């Protein structure tokens, strides 16, 4: 069982099944499907079932436009720690699609990337094996300010102040 860190009040389930594309899933089992399987199935879950979608770095999150009904979580995958695309995917899900569910980081999730992930909209982190939970939590609080304007920055103020608006997420 990977160590899981959640922020911003996210309440991650721990019994998600990350289903293979040919894996039979019981209807009442909380399950996370690949983007292609989710789209093939029509892109919407049945009411009352816990469903998630996982994206690989090359997947286009815009394909989820209008297909996030019933999606409780989107899992974004880091094949290695230098992978940068999931940061843009998370930002797109939050800022462009208004997704309010859980965005979970999986794969090469090391302590020192967490703050960047959090500022792009991730709120749940499955720590890579060997990453110490305390180190991860303290890495998350290494900064309390940022130069980039917050996603929900207000209008009317100068950019100079908006660039100093806070955490950015």
Partner 1 sequence: MYRYDEFDHRLLSQRIGQFRDQVARRLSGQLDEDAFRPLRLRNGVYLQLNAYMLRVNIPYGLLSSRQLRRLADIAERYDRGYGHFSTRQNIQFNWPRLVDIPDMLAELAEVEMHAMQSSGNCIRNITADHLAGIAADEVADPRPYCEIIRQWSTLHPEFSFLPRKFKIAVSGAARDRAAVHVHDIGIRIRRNEAGEIGFHILVGGGLGRTPVIGKTLREFLPEADLLSYLEAVLRVYNRYGRRDNKYKARIKILVNDLGIGAFAALVEEEWQRLRHSALRLGPADIERMKAHFPRPDYLPPVNDTSEYEALRRDDPAFDRWAENAVFSHRQPGYGIVMVSLKRSGRPTGDMRADEMRALARLAEEYGFGEIRVTHRQNLVLPDVPLHRLPSLWRELTALDLAMPNHGLLSDIIACPGMDYCALATARSIPVAQAIAERFDDLDYLHDIGDLSLNISGCINSCAHHNVANIGILGVDKRGQEVYQITLGGSSGDDAAIGKRIGPALPAEDVPAAIEGIVEAFLAEREGDERFIDTYRRVGDQPFKERVYA
**Applying CB under 8 A, which residues contact partner 1?**
57, 81-85, 87-88, 91, 96, 110, 112-113, 115-117, 119-120, 132, 135, 138-139, 142-150, 153, 155, 158-160, 162-164, 168-169
In the bound state with partner 1, the residue whose beta carbon lies nearer, of 50 and 139, is 139
- Minimum CB–partner distance for residue 31 and partner 1 (Å): 28
φ, ψ (nearest 5 deg) of residue 63: -65, -15
Contact (Cβ atoms closer than 8 angstroms) between residue 105 and residue 125? yes
- Minimum CB–partner distance for residue 145 and partner 1 (Å): 6
Of 135, 104, 79, which Cα lies nearest the Cα of 8?
Answer: 104
Site of tokens 């110490």: 132
In the bound state with partner 1, the residue whose beta carbon lies nearer, of 64 and 139, is 139
- Minimum CB–partner distance for residue 166 and partner 1 (Å): 11
Strand ranges (E), 79-137:
102-107, 124-126
Contact (Cβ atoms closer than 8 angstroms) between residue 125 and residue 77? no
In the bound state with partner 1, the residue whose beta carbon lies nearer, of 36 and 138, is 138
- Minimum CB–partner distance for residue 22 and partner 1 (Å): 27
Strand ranges (E), the chain:
4-6, 17-18, 31-34, 51-55, 71-78, 102-107, 124-126
In the bound state with partner 1, the residue whose beta carbon lies nearer, of 32 and 115, is 115
In the bound state with partner 1, the residue whose beta carbon lies nearer, of 31 and 118, is 118
- Minimum CB–partner distance for residue 165 and partner 1 (Å): 8
Strands 4-6 and 124-126: antiparallel
- In angstroms, the CA 110 to CA 167 distance is 20
């Amino acid at each position: 069982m990977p160590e899981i860190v959640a922020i911003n009040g996210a309440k991650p389930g721990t019994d998600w099944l990350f289903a293979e594309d040919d894996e039979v899933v019981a209807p009442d089992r909380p399950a996370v499907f690949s983007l292609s399987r989710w789209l093939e199935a029509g892109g919407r879950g049945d009411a009352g079932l816990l469903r998630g979608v996982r994206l690989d770095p090359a997947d286009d999150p815009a394909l989820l436009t209008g297909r996030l009904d019933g999606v409780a979580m989107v899992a974004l995958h880091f094949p290695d720690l230098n992978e940068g695309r999931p940061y843009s995917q998370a930002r797109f899900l939050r800022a462009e699609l208004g997704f309010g569910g859980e965005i979970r980081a999986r794969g090469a999730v090391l302590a020192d990337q967490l703050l960047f992930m959090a500022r792009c909209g991730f709120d749940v982190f499955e720590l890579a094996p060997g990453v110490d939970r305390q180190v991860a939590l303290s890495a998350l609080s290494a900064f309390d300010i940022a130069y980039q304007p917050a996603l929900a920055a207000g209008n009317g103020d100068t950019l100079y102040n908006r660039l100093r608006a806070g955490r950015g997420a």
